[in-house]
Amino acid sequence: MTNATFESLPNEVLLIIFGYLSTFDLCEAFLNVKNVRIENLITSIRHTLDVSLMHYDKLHQFLSKINEYTNRSVALIDSVVLHDSSACTMLCNHLETRLNDSEDSNDWFRSIKKLHILNSNSYGYDLVQPILKPLVYGTHTLKYLHLVFDRPAYSYPTILSELVLHRISVYSMILEVEQGHEFYPNELTKDFHKMQPLYWPNTVKLTLSIQHPSELMLLLKRDALPALEHLNVTNEDIHTVLPLSQYKPVSNIQFCEHDLRQTADGTRLRSLILRFITLRDATLLLGSLSMPLLEKLILVDLYVHTLNHIDEFQKLCGPTHVPALKNLYFSFCFPQDMEHVLRKSSFHRNGEWPFDNIDCYIDESLIATGRLHDFATTTLFIVYKRPISVLLQHRRTLHNHRFATHASAPIFTTRRQSLLLTYDKIDKPDELFKTLQVLARCSVDKLHLKYRGDQANVSMASNCALSGNLFLRHLRSMTFDFESMSIKRSATVAIVKQILHASPNLSDLVIDWSDFCHCSQTYSNLKHLHLILDRIYPEPKQHFDVRRLAQLAPHLCSLETSGANIMLDENLVKFVLKIIRQFDQLVYLTLNKNNLYKSKENKKVIFKETLIAAGHNRVFDCNNIRIQFYTRDALYIWL
């Protein structure tokens, strides 16, 4: 019997092994293997470079040896994922140098087809010029651009303006906003009409947010997007949701039927998705556009303040106006006091709705009013076209339990998404469990649970065992955000334990340390952890129990803290070194994130020098680590 070698393994086994290795590890392990079969297997794989889990020295080594890798597997990198801004900066600097060097015409990045940036709010002007512009104009290979923003503020209008200015246009462009007008009203401070004229000639699929519904005219303007076939637009104007809000529309663009007919072009559109506009605007848009190729029309949460446009909307969705339409979905949001009027109107003749598969229910929505920490709960009468899974796919927020109560059964969806659950009534644990049951079979991979109730002494610890049947297998990222002091610690811990127990594939977690420290399991899959610390902690030298944390999450790659202001002193130096020693897989350590305190610059310099002196050649090599301060006292360490 001959001894088996690695090179003798069958192709199927080798491909399984390769699937567990990053692009960097694949190159390091097999770069010098002189085996045509293995090389062919490697080149048959489309590689994704995810720099979010690469150590400082590894990424530096990868980029410095890039020319050695180019003729082998690295030239096949077709996707790049960026999460950390410092790694992005290093990559941008490298790309900027290489793309300006004509001798490097065959460099690896010229094969990049997809670019995902997961925390785009951390970037601004420094994203478009050094990386996107060269990739689009220099290589012509980038086909897919996906930027994820947590809110439509700060970096979003800046990056959008830069994309318009430099005409960054690729086949598919997604500018995704996870939390919008519901919690950050009127933060889109730069309107489309204040930017350069829009011209994205190569964009076929487009997803973005706008500040005013009238800005749809700029997106649909003839020759602005001449190749556009699929358009997905979210309106972030809070005035659409709350007509009596203190905010007033400030756009200089007005929705005008005459201008739409003269300048807008929808003849190439095959799918159109609009979220959070009024029925009036939707009717005006549909009535003014010719869309002979439109096959799918999805209108999510059309706000209805008058019944004047109901009949017209029904006609415009018919085969006479949109002859190719195969898939129509809509949901209307009526003020609750209009329900009785609506049921007696022509829209509800003889007890039946004019469209097939119509259903309705009472729902609630939590909306920021614009005043500091002030939210309003509005009750709405929802009329929608089944299936309800489409509504869930395109909703960013569910408030309280009414949606889950109406849904009554698990919902199956195919689109992965981020979802925010808000509660101000959580005194009945079965209501929360009902919502989680409904979501359990959805493809929700990022969930944010926010409780901000003002009820006193909410307690459900005694009966908070959600259920052993709950299984959130799709969930990858979870945020627990209990803002109210009215809910007892025992209740929050019970909720946390149950959800974490039901989420075996969870890798990202944001949680209060006072809740997490009471958990009893080990969460080996956790890679990214953000701890919210008490602002007044009992022991200044021990901001949290590092050993206890290592028991709970032993394989952390990224650790962040916020809440408490950790002073830059010798105690923190010892604390940082203890964390680094305890977590041997740690790549990023960020302390005092979103901190409001700002130390003097000389104090920061002294702290950095003290940390390097204490850790060099004991805990880390100072040449293979990056230590810097972000905004105020936010300490960032890239190991």
DSSP string, 151-189: SSSTHHHHHHHHHHHTT---SEEEEEESS-TTTSTT---
Which among 422-436, 543-557, 613-627 has the top mean pLDDT?
A: 543-557
What pLDDT digit, counting tens, does each position of 412-448 carry?
766 667 888 888 776 666 778 888 888 887 778 899 9
pLDDT for res 188 = 47
Helices (H), 317-428: 339-343, 388-394, 402-407
With bands split at pLDDT 50, 70 and 90, how would you rate the model's confidence at 509?
very high
- Strand, helix or coil for residue 588: strand
C-alpha 150: how far from its chain's center? 6
Residue 25 CA to residue 321 CA, distance in Å, equals: 56
* H helix or E strand, kind and range, residue 219: helix 216-219
pLDDT for res 253 = 60
With bands split at pLDDT 50, 70 and 90, how would you rate the model's confidence at 315?
confident
User: How far is CA 606 from each of CA 568, 574, 600, 611, 629, rounded to the nearest angstrom?
Assistant: 9, 15, 10, 9, 12
**At residue 458, does pLDDT exceed 50?**
no
| Residue 236, C-beta contacts closer than 8 angstroms, at least 6 positions apart | 152, 177, 180, 181, 187, 188, 209, 210, 211, 276
pTM here is 0.89
pLDDT for res 207 = 96
**At residue 255, does pLDDT exceed 80?**
no
Average pLDDT over residues 58-63: 78
Residue 476 β-bridge partners: none
Residue 136 CA to residue 143 CA, distance in Å, equals: 9
Place of tokens 């048959």: 44
Tokens of 5: 């070698």
Average pLDDT over residues 276-290: 91
Domain ranges of the chain: 1-45
Compute the chain's Rg from CA coordinates.
Answer: 27
Residue 516 CA to residue 533 CA, distance in Å, equals: 11
Place of tokens 């785009």: 120
What's the one-letter identity of residue 241? V
pLDDT for res 479 = 95
- Inter-residue contact 116 to 80 (CB < 8 Å): yes
- Concatenated DSSP letters for 22-42? -HHHHHHHHTT---HHHHHHH
**At residue 64, does pLDDT exceed 50?**
yes
- Inter-residue contact 548 to 531 (CB < 8 Å): no
pLDDT for res 219 = 92
Residue 585 CA to residue 358 CA, distance in Å, equals: 52
Least confident of 95-109, 118-132, 324-338: 95-109
- Concatenated DSSP letters for 414-438? -S-EEEEEEES--S-HHHHHHHHHH
Of the two residues 569 and 412, the one the predictor is more confident about is 569
Residue 471 CA to residue 441 CA, distance in Å, equals: 8
What pLDDT digit, counting tens, does each position of 172-211 carry?
999 999 887 555 555 445 555 566 789 999 999 999 999 8
**At residue 490, does pLDDT exceed 60?**
yes
Least confident of 61-70, 323-332, 620-629: 61-70
What pLDDT digit, counting tens, does each position of 296-310 carry?
999 999 998 888 888
Of the two residues 314 and 455, the one the predictor is more confident about is 314
What pLDDT digit, counting tens, does each position of 623-636 carry?
788 888 877 888 99
Tokens of 624: 């293979």
User: How far is CA 495 from each of CA 295, 409, 442, 528, rounded to the nearest angstrom?
Assistant: 43, 21, 20, 20
With bands split at pLDDT 50, 70 and 90, how would you rate the model's confidence at 244?
very low
